[in-house]
Structure formats: C-alpha cells, structure tokens
Amino acid sequence: MQSAGIQACIIPTTDPHIGEYTPDRWKTREWISGFTGSAGTVVITMDKAGLWTDSRYFLQAEEQLKGSGIDLFKTGLTETPSFSEWIASELRAEDCVGIEGEVFAASESKTLIEFFTGKDLKVRTDFAPYDSLWENRPPIPVNRAFVLPERFTGKSCHEKIEEVLTEIKKHQADMTILAALDAIAWLFNIRGNDVEYNPVCLSYAVVSEKETVLFISSEKLTQEVSEYLQLQGVVTADYGKITDYIQKIPAGTKVLTAPSKINYKLYSILSEKCEIKETTVHPADSLKSIKNETEIAGIRNAMLKDGVAMVKLLIDLEKAIENGETITELDIEKKILKYHSDREFYFGESFHPIVGYGAHGAIVHYEATPESNATIQRNGVLLIDTGAQYFDGTTDITRTISTGEVSETIKRDYTHVLKGHIQLASAVFPAGTVGMQLDALARLALWKSGQNFLHGTGHGVGCFLNVHEGPQSIRMNHNPAALAPGMITSNEPGLYLAGEYGIRIENLLLTVKAKTTDFGDFYAFETLTLCPIDIRLIDRSLLSPEETDWLNAYHQKVYDQLAPLLSKEEAGWLEKRTRAIIST
Amino acid sequence: MQSAGIQACIIPTTDPHIGEYTPDRWKTREWISGFTGSAGTVVITMDKAGLWTDSRYFLQAEEQLKGSGIDLFKTGLTETPSFSEWIASELRAEDCVGIEGEVFAASESKTLIEFFTGKDLKVRTDFAPYDSLWENRPPIPVNRAFVLPERFTGKSCHEKIEEVLTEIKKHQADMTILAALDAIAWLFNIRGNDVEYNPVCLSYAVVSEKETVLFISSEKLTQEVSEYLQLQGVVTADYGKITDYIQKIPAGTKVLTAPSKINYKLYSILSEKCEIKETTVHPADSLKSIKNETEIAGIRNAMLKDGVAMVKLLIDLEKAIENGETITELDIEKKILKYHSDREFYFGESFHPIVGYGAHGAIVHYEATPESNATIQRNGVLLIDTGAQYFDGTTDITRTISTGEVSETIKRDYTHVLKGHIQLASAVFPAGTVGMQLDALARLALWKSGQNFLHGTGHGVGCFLNVHEGPQSIRMNHNPAALAPGMITSNEPGLYLAGEYGIRIENLLLTVKAKTTDFGDFYAFETLTLCPIDIRLIDRSLLSPEETDWLNAYHQKVYDQLAPLLSKEEAGWLEKRTRAIIST
C-alpha cells in the first residue's frame, strides 16, 4: 500500500463474475482475514483493519477474527458506519483508496468513486497486489463442463439466445456481455463444477445479432459440450480472451449491461468506446427467474425427493433420541448427505448443511466442526437447513425440530415465526408487487413481540443452479424486481436468541396467477416444499383459524404426496406428524 | 413551439416552489387543459396533446377533457406509457423537447434530460411562452403574512435555524437554499394566504452560518412579522432577489439542496459555481415532520374540535334522512364549513371537502358542483372527506356512512377496507421501517378479494401547514424516508367501484415509541382522529377477534374524549354509534 501510495484498501467477497460464492482463487478476503462466511468486506488502513459482515455471521466472525487484529463491524445496526464512511473518517483529504476493479461490480465501484471523490479522497481501481503476496494462491479452476439436457431445461440454448436478443433490442442495444456464471449456465444449458455448491463453470459470454460467443477454457469443453454448442450456433473462445474481445468491439456499439452484474474492469474498457445501455436487471436474469413448465415439473419432482429424504432423516433422529443413542450435529449432516445422494439425479448439496442444536441454532450460518459438534439432548430445539442439487431442481429447506422438553417461551417464539411464514405463504397481491411490500407479513407477529430477524425473508432459487439467485427477493430493503409467475422464492422467517436457540421455518414458494379482476392481475404463492412443520412446537392459542386451516391443508398435501413414496412405517410416522391440529 | 424549434412541450402541475398545490398564477396546466385536478401533466406535440393523471382523477379528467382534443393517459396502469416514453415514441431523432425549468424540480429535469438525451432528443429548459399567451394571467400573490405564536409552534424561529445549521454541517455544507413554502413557513414560524388551503406565503430562504435571509415581498411583511423576524436574527429581501443572491454566492461554496425540492432554474445557477451537496430529504423537511410536544398537544386539541364538528354533522345528516328532508352533497359541504368554522382557532379548510354520494364516492377527488349535486337517498353509502386548518393543527378525516339500506356486498367491501385500516393502525415495527414495508397491511384483505385502491395509503400531515407533507409516506411505491416518532401520517385505505360507490376510512396516526428490546427500538401508531366508524356497515363475521377489540377500544376512546364536549342528546347519539360490537 505504501509503495502504491494508497492509505486504505477494500477487499470484498466477490470475484470477476460478481458471484456470491466464488472459486477458491478469489477467496482473498478469507485468505487475509481467516473469516470464512459467505458475505463480508475487509478494509485495511495503515494502522487499522476491519471486517464488515451481517447478522448471520456476527458470532462466527467474532470467533474467527480473535487475535487477527481485525475489528468486527456489524452491518445492519444503526450505530455501525458503512465501510466507506469509516474509511472517510480515518483518512485525510487527498489520501487514496485502492480497490481491485476486477472483483468489484461496476455499480459498486461507481458508487465508491463518487462517495470518496465527494470526501476529497482519491480512488485507484487497479490495486491488486495479492498474486505476489498470497503463497500457493489457488489457480483458476478448469473442471469439466457438461450439457444439461433439454428434458430438464425445457428450452434449447438457441431458443434462449433468441429471447435474450429480443430483450436486447427492446433496450435499443446491439449486444450484451454476460459475466454472471449462473446466467451463462442457464443460457447455454451447460453446468460445471467450478464453484462449491453452485453447478456453474467459469466463463463470460457475448450475445449479439452477429454472433454468440462463450469464453471458456478449452480444458472444460468435452466433446459433448463442444458439439452441443456448435449445434446451437455458439462460437467458443478462451476464457482469457474476453478483454481482447471487448477492446475490439467497434466504437459506438450499443452494449446492454447490468452494472451490478459486470466487473468494473470490463465495464471501464467498454465505456471507453461503446455506448453503454444500463439496466438494473439483466434480461438473462429475468428470463432465467421465470421457470418454464418443464423446470416447474422438475422442481416438483425434486421436492418429492427432498421431502422423502427429510422424512427419513427426521425418523432416524427421533428414534435415536427415543432410544437414548448418541447422535451429534455431524452425524445428522452425514445422514442428510446420504439421504440426498440416494435420490435420482442427485448431483450434490446446494449449500453446506446447517445443523445447529440449542445455542448453535442461533448462529445463522452455523457449520458444525469436530470441535463444536454438539450431541443432541432430550430438550430444546434443533435447526436443520439443507438443500440439494438434482438435475431436475435445486432445493432449500429449513425445519426446527423439538428434541424433547421445550419451554413455553420457545413455543411462543416458534409460533410467531410460523405465523409469519403462513402470512407470507397465503398472501395474494397485484401484479407489480415487489418483495419489500410483502416482507412485513413474515415479520409482524415477531415485531409485535419486539423481536425480529435481520436476514432477508426470501431469496430466488435456480433450477439446478445457484440456491441464491435474483432478480427478486423478499427483504426489508428495496429491490425493484417484481414477483412474477414462475419465480421460485424462499419463505424463511426466523428468530435467533444468541446463546439460547434459533428458529427458522423455510419452504420454497412458486409465484402463480391467482385471479384477474377489474383491478388487474393478482398473484399468489404455491408452497413447493413438502415436509412436516413440527406441530409439537406450536402454541395453538396464538394461531388464527385461518392460519390453522393453512397449516392443516399444507400437512394434508405433504402427506398425500409423500406417503406413496414411503414405507408403511414411514408413512405411519408422517401421518402422525401431519395430523390436523385444532384451533383453540 | 414552431418558432422556438420545439416539437414537444411538457406542462406540469407544480410551480417555482415545487408545491403540490400552487397559487393561481402557476396553474398553467389547468389554464391550458381545463382539467382542475391536483395532479397531472400535459404534453403537447405538433399534432397531439395528452394529459397524464392518476386514478383519483380518471373519471373527473375524462369529463373535463371532453372536446378539448387532449387525450387522457391513465398513470399507474401497466399499459400506460409514461409521458416521457410517449414523447420519445412520437418524436424523431434530434427533435427538441421544451420545458420551463423554473416549474420543474431539479431532480425531475435531470431525469428528463438524461432520458431524452438517451433517446437522441434535445431538451430546452427555458421554454416558457405562457406570459404572452395567457390573457389575464393571475399576478404573483401578495397576501399578508402573519406570525404563528410559539404557544402553537413550541419552538422559536431562532432555535429552528440552529437545528437546520447543525444538519447542514453534518452534510459538510456551508449553506442551504429553501424553496418549499411549507418548510419556510415552518422554519420562520410564519403563515400566509398565498395558496388555497395551504397557509403558506410565497418566499425563498437561504440559511448559512453567516446569515439567514427570507426572500419575501415587502407587501406581505406586516410590522408584526418584520419585528419578529428581526428579533430572531433573520434578514429579509425582496422575493425576486433570490436569483441575484444565488448568482453572487462565492464560487466553491458548498450548498446543501434536495433536488426534488428546488426548481431547476435555481439549481442550474447554483451548480455553475457552487459545490452542490445533494440530499434526498432536506433536513428542514425532516425536522418539520417530527412534531414537538407543543405541536402534538395542539393536534390533539384540533382532533377534539374536528370530532365534535363531525358528530354534529353526522347527527344533522341522520336526522334529515330520518325526517325525509332533502339534503344534498352541497348542503353537507356547507354544514361542514359551518361546524369547522365554529371551532376555536379556525383558519380555514385544509382542502376542498369531498362529499360524494353513491357513484360520486367512487370519484376519488370528487367536488360537488351545482350541476352534479346529488340528493342523499335512503340507501347506499356517502363518502365524506374533509379537514380544517386550526392554528393548533391541521386535520384530515374520511368517513363512509350508511344512509339507509345497504347490500351485503357493500358491507363486505367496507369491512375489507376497515380490516386494512385496523391492520395498519395496530402495526408495530422496528426503527428504520419505511412506509412501503407497511403499505400491504392496509391492502391485504382487499387483495385477497382481487380488489385494490390505486392511491397511497398514507401521507404526512403538517401542523397548521400543508395537509400533504413529506418526507414520509405509506404507499405501494418506495420512499426511503423512515417513519419516526412524532410524525403524523394518514391511514386511508379505500375501494372505488366506478358507477357504484366509493369507500374510504381515514384517520391520522402519530408514530410513537412502543418498546426497546435486544432487537432495538420498535415503534407503533397512536390514532389521533376521534370520530365513530360506521358499525352499521360492518360484516362482523369478517373481523378477527383482534380487529374487533381494536375497533371497540377505539370507539371507547372516541366516546370518552368527545362526550364531555357534546350536549346530552349528542352524547347519547355518540354512545349508540360507538357501542362495542361482538365478534361472531
């Protein structure tokens, strides 16, 4: 920093593809801080260092930063300054902030540059000393890609390219650049192994009337993939050639980009000669988020499999507890992997399983380790959040389970979380509604008790793709992407009491058309996930008759759909756990 | 337009102070189109003309535009293009759009310029041919100002200036310019008569460490006002001198402005030499929106008066209907004016009363005329939306009243609107919550029936100031201003069935602190308005026990507070109309 004349540098979590999860090569923030969470930013000045991360990771970050000299800044709390504000308060006028433009979204870089310039600070966007400092930095991954057949995707790559071209024209553009790995995997009907839990392959793409080019290393291209792409009219080029290609785009070309989905380095090169047409949401992301009939049929099938796996797991767990056997968080994790992997079209997990007993459940993104591994006791609650990647769909489910005696307080808290879950699941809303408008439905029962959860209520979910995808979300923050029929979004209110317990109930929702009236189109949610919600944890006096009806109808559906796939004994257990409850 | 080389011009509703309601001098849109609604934009091209307005005015605009050659564009419907999109589709590359920068907010002008430039169109911001075209254009008003004593404002002008200066410094600015008339009236503790229903006086203001200058015509300055301002350390200058003053601000001065609250002409002059510090919400607006103890005591008193006036009106109305007397919408309007004006500290109405019987109730901003004036019949519902300006507070209330026989459908619709009203009124929410997060609470019961209302659910309300004020709102659209303790906001869900009937139930809400927990501060609403909600229109089977409890508690409070101010006979009527209902 000193030799570069820089007084503060910012190290984000993301990579040149602005991914939420990144290949090991770009885990610079983890390498420098030791903090392994999926979200966080490190800032280093000449005499201080800080990590900014959100409530999901407060406890984990505190643990992992011990002795590092890096201070924890808890984002989302009103008293916490943003890292930019903090830098501005630490530096003096004319000081310089260094970032590596290649791993920052163009939108974020522009915001940072504007902010720091307003504070009389300079910004350098080519500060990237990590290659020489980072011993044994992992190489760029070169795992093989494979084609996802149209029986799963429902559309050919060629058809999707045509749809993207139509959207590009609507934006008065000639061309678009894609850097987001999930959008590229969707568009080309290919999948890969380059990012843990995300079946994507490192690549860029250019789509224009003239040609569609996929930038991908030749090591990844099996004969099958090459032939498919050729058949679909796609040209391939080496991964590293994207910069050259962009530099050679004729001056004045109108290029559509979503600045939040392209890195600042590519964006800067583009903006030198091209006319950039900016969009908040890239059409490829919008198109990807609206699942077609084949994809919806696939996810329904994946839900049946996931439901069966969960039922088998819950039965094993209950038996072990009843029989007084020792069963730990890691034992449960292993069982989940087994039951998932026994199912048809299994590819892997969709994220690292979270199995948190008691106080561990309050650590929102807890990962059990041999050191932390807790044995399940006959009291309190256990939080299990897992998901799988099947060729026909991506799943994500959380259940909070009674392991024996529970207090009335836990029941009250659990029921408040459940009320929120049901209120959101049963919402009806007009076309154009965005997630922020519905988010409070999932929180109101908690808010009335002076409680809250600080993570989002819902994220988009891909089809055999990333378990977190845009453009839609259901959050306390504003996101202009409207909820549209065909989108899959999670519904996961929770409550976390540090040192005590954590509660979360998560199902996936499909947005569907509800009705059309003089007031326009109205949409609703269909709950896709099939797994009992623990009725032993409910304080029935807190549920309204409508909420009780929703739960009973949901449980009837879970039973009807899963029972035929279970043994008689398993079906008997499910019958008991999905029995209708009576409103008090 | 032809001689200026302009192919399209845009005429908005606002004025140099970016007011929602404007002095007659700037009612250019009304002059040119004949449309008298409070919101709308006219666009004229060489061969077409259009008016864009929202759902409150669809019926009225259709009526008033008949034969004008101006087409109606209904905003808020997905199929309606914005006026900018429409202009872009009508004009050819290199054509020019003309606007009068002085009557456009800087933010809106900048958006328009960016949009049209992106469409290869030019923009001229000095197109203002109206003075020569508009015969007998009203002059700039010069009504007298007066001081609002500190017994009503609770704070001296001097104290408020200090508070604004503190905020300016937080934004690293040296100075601010105020153009919003309500912010100026608030800051200087003055009121006036320049805008119908809004007790403000035409003025600009500059606040800096060096001096505070109020730009106001000398005709307005009574001796009382001059003396008060002098005592508070305020310098006065002529209204027309603001431009000169801004031109002479030393280069490099840091000037805080909210681009949505300053006109583009002033903003352009400022931006030539000064460093503009932009803010979404001007600190004067934030400070004004948080009512102090004196103001809250005042509004409570105003609510008692308004409640008494409403009770007297409703009794008269009921008697007239019972006795078979002819009573019309205009008769009711006269009665409201009388009952308001009988009260202490009455200054005027806070907006034109809306008294709409039957189908007229579905015209959201209906104003009865001698031609439209309907006689109240012994069936259906009557919508009454009125408000007054008292020295101690501004009121705004809507009640929908049964006038005799009503169908089960009306009762169902009324109860859905009431459910929304109660859900919002009884919300509890964490600090930082914005209106968009709560808006759905007021709509969900309607949405579930495939119904909606297309206006906002809540607007800020001033203290003896504008009945619509910012920064907060509760709407389907995003507004980043959080709801904070001390703010007054309306709660007015409704339902409008064209040609049939309109329903709206409106109370004013005070945001109050509810509790502080480990999860931070939580706020709630206290309903300020005191007036029975028509229980004869409720379908009790649709209310939850909690909703019934809310209504009964509200009615108990209405009775307890108003009864001591009423005659025995009036109190008897109120007792009947506020009787607890039983949940079915």
Contacts of A517 in chain B (CB under 8 A): 450-451
Across chain B, mean pLDDT equals 96
Residue B553 has pLDDT above 80, yes or no: yes
Q: Report residue B21's pLDDT band, with 50, 70 and 90 as the boundaries.
A: confident
**Can you read off the two tokens belonging to residue A14?**
């993301």
Contacts of A450 in chain B (CB under 8 A): 428, 514-517, 519, 522
**Can you read off the two tokens belonging to residue B492?**
């007015």
The larger pLDDT score, comparing residue A76 to residue B319, is at B319
Looking only at the bridges linking them, the beta strands covering B8-11 and B96-98 are parallel
Contacts of B480 in chain A (CB under 8 A): 478
Q: How far is B516 from chain A (nearest CA, A)?
A: 7
Tally of residues, chain B: 584
Judged by CB atoms closer than 8 Å, whether chains meet at B427 and A447 is answered as yes
For B297-315, write each residue's pLDDT tens digit. 999 999 999 999 999 999 9
**Can you read off the two tokens belonging to residue B422?**
């109660």
Judged by CB atoms closer than 8 Å, whether chains meet at B452 and A519 is answered as yes
Which member of B448, B450, B476 has the closest CB to residue A519?
A: B450
Q: Report residue A55's pLDDT band, with 50, 70 and 90 as the boundaries.
A: confident
Task: Report pLDDT for B218.
Answer: 96
Q: What is the DSSP string of B72-111?
A: EEETTSTTSPPHHHHHHHHS-TT-EEE-BGGGSBHHHHHH
Tell me the three state secondary structure of residue A563.
helix
Which of B78, B444, B519 to mutate to test binding with chain A, by most A CBs within 10 Å of its CB?
B519
Question: 């902030």: which residue's tokens?
Answer: A97
Which member of B78, B440, B520 has the closest CB to residue A431?
A: B78
Which member of B77, B444, B451 has the closest CB to residue A427?
A: B444
Return the residue of A nearest to B79 by Cα: A520
Strands (E) located in B196-267: 204-208, 212-215, 234-237, 254-257
Judged by CB atoms closer than 8 Å, whether chains meet at A520 and B428 is answered as no
Task: Report pLDDT for B20.
Answer: 87
Judged by CB atoms closer than 8 Å, whether chains meet at B430 and A444 is answered as no
Return the residue of A nearest to B275 by Cα: A118
Q: Report residue B77's pLDDT band, with 50, 70 and 90 as the boundaries.
A: confident
Task: Report pLDDT for B99.
Answer: 97
For A457-511, write each residue's pLDDT tens digit. 999 999 999 999 999 999 999 999 999 999 999 999 999 999 999 999 999 999 9
Judged by CB atoms closer than 8 Å, whether chains meet at B517 and A450 is answered as yes
Task: Report pLDDT for B122.
Answer: 97
Judged by CB atoms closer than 8 Å, whether chains meet at A430 and B452 is answered as yes
Q: Report residue A364's pLDDT band, with 50, 70 and 90 as the boundaries.
A: confident
Contacts of A514 in chain B (CB under 8 A): 450
The answer to whether the complex's ipTM is over 0.90 is: yes
CA-based radius of gyration for chain A = 24
- Which run of H or E residues covers position A101? none
Judged by CB atoms closer than 8 Å, whether chains meet at B429 and A450 is answered as no
Contact of B432 with chain A, judged by CB distance below 8 Å, is answered with yes
Task: Report pLDDT for A38.
Answer: 85
For A98-140, write each residue's pLDDT tens digit. 999 999 999 999 999 999 998 999 999 999 999 999 999 999 9
Return the residue of B nearest to A498 by Cα: B518
Residue A394 has pLDDT above 90, yes or no: yes
Q: Residue A161 in contact with residue A232, Cβ under 8 Å?
A: yes
For A397-407, write each residue's pLDDT tens digit. 999 999 999 99
Contacts of B436 in chain A (CB under 8 A): 436-437, 478
Which member of A430, A448, A516 has the closest CB to residue B428?
A: A448
Q: Report residue B365's pLDDT band, with 50, 70 and 90 as the boundaries.
A: confident
**Pairwise CA distance, residues A368 & B345, whole Å:** 68
Contact of B451 with chain A, judged by CB distance below 8 Å, is answered with yes
Contact of B431 with chain A, judged by CB distance below 8 Å, is answered with yes
Task: Report pLDDT for A88.
Answer: 96
Judged by CB atoms closer than 8 Å, whether chains meet at B450 and A544 is answered as no
Task: Report pLDDT for A99.
Answer: 97
For B38-63, write each residue's pLDDT tens digit. 899 999 999 999 999 998 888 889 99
**Pairwise CA distance, residues A139 & A412, whole Å:** 50
Judged by CB atoms closer than 8 Å, whether chains meet at A437 and B476 is answered as yes
Contact of A515 with chain B, judged by CB distance below 8 Å, is answered with yes
Return the residue of B nearest to A120 by Cα: B172
For B145-169, write each residue's pLDDT tens digit. 999 999 999 999 999 999 999 999 9
Residue A583 has pLDDT above 80, yes or no: no
Task: Report pLDDT for B56.
Answer: 81
Which member of B118, B429, B444 has the closest CB to residue A447?
A: B429
Q: Residue B332 in contact with residue B309, Cβ under 8 Å?
A: no
**Region B134-154 average pLDDT:** 96
Return the residue of B nearest to A497 by Cα: B518
Q: Which of residues 260-279 of A touch B (CB under 8 A)?
A: 277
Contact of B57 with chain A, judged by CB distance below 8 Å, is answered with no
Residue of A425, A562, A426, A581 lying closest to A492 (CA atoms): A425
What is the pTM for the complete model shown? 0.94
For A190-199, write each residue's pLDDT tens digit. 999 999 999 9
Q: How far is A187 from chain B (nearest CA, A)?
A: 28
For A316-328, write each residue's pLDDT tens digit. 999 999 999 999 9
Across chain A, mean pLDDT equals 96
Looking only at the bridges linking them, the beta strands covering B41-45 and B8-11 are antiparallel
Task: Report pLDDT for A34.
Answer: 96
Which member of A77, A439, A522 has the closest CB to residue B447?
A: A522
Residue of A366, A381, A368, A377 lying closest to A413 (CA atoms): A381
**Region B502-514 average pLDDT:** 98
Judged by CB atoms closer than 8 Å, whether chains meet at B439 and A437 is answered as yes
Return the residue of B nearest to A450 by Cα: B517
Judged by CB atoms closer than 8 Å, whether chains meet at A515 and B450 is answered as yes
Instruction: Sort residue B268 into left (φ over 0), alpha (ψ -120 to 50) or beta.
Output: alpha
Contact of B115 with chain A, judged by CB distance below 8 Å, is answered with no
Under DSSP, the state recorded for B475 is: S
Contacts of B438 in chain A (CB under 8 A): 440
Residue A584 has pLDDT above 80, yes or no: no
Chain A, chain B: beta-carbon pairs less than 8 Å apart? 85
For B114-129, write each residue's pLDDT tens digit. 999 989 999 999 999 9
Residue B227 has pLDDT above 80, yes or no: yes
Contact of A141 with chain B, judged by CB distance below 8 Å, is answered with no
**Pairwise CA distance, residues B453 & A483, whole Å:** 19
Contact of B173 with chain A, judged by CB distance below 8 Å, is answered with no
Residue A339 has pLDDT above 80, yes or no: yes
Sheet containing A469-474, strands listed edge to edge, beginning at the edge strand earlier in sequence: A428-430, A520-527, A507-517, A488-491, A458-460, A469-474
Please give the angle made by the CA atoms of A525, A530 and A536, to the nearest 5 degrees.
105
Contact of B65 with chain A, judged by CB distance below 8 Å, is answered with no
Q: Within 13 Å, how many C-alpha atoms sit on residue B551's CB side?
A: 26
Tell me the three state secondary structure of residue A26.
helix
Q: How far is A479 from chain B (nearest CA, A)?
A: 9
Contact of A544 with chain B, judged by CB distance below 8 Å, is answered with yes
Q: How far is A331 from chain B (nearest CA, A)?
A: 33
Q: How far is A326 from chain B (nearest CA, A)?
A: 35
Q: Report residue A171's pLDDT band, with 50, 70 and 90 as the boundaries.
A: very high
Q: Report residue B490's pLDDT band, with 50, 70 and 90 as the boundaries.
A: very high
Question: 């094993």: which residue's tokens?
Answer: A316
Q: Report residue A256's pLDDT band, with 50, 70 and 90 as the boundaries.
A: very high
Residue B215 has pLDDT above 80, yes or no: yes
- Whole-number Cα distances in Å, B233 to A328, B227, B228, B483, B536: 73, 10, 9, 33, 57
Q: Report residue B200's pLDDT band, with 50, 70 and 90 as the boundaries.
A: very high
**Pairwise CA distance, residues B367 & A475, whole Å:** 40
Under DSSP, the state recorded for B138 is: P
Contact of B436 with chain A, judged by CB distance below 8 Å, is answered with yes
Which of B447, B449, B525 to mutate to test binding with chain A, by most A CBs within 10 Å of its CB?
B447
Q: Is the dihedral of CA B414, B416, B422, B425 positive or negative?
A: negative
Residue A181 has pLDDT above 80, yes or no: yes
Task: Report pLDDT for A78.
Answer: 79
Contacts of B439 in chain A (CB under 8 A): 437
Contacts of A520 in chain B (CB under 8 A): 77-78, 452
Judged by CB atoms closer than 8 Å, whether chains meet at A440 and B437 is answered as yes
Contact of B117 with chain A, judged by CB distance below 8 Å, is answered with no
Judged by CB atoms closer than 8 Å, whether chains meet at A451 and B519 is answered as yes
Contacts of A432 in chain B (CB under 8 A): 78, 476
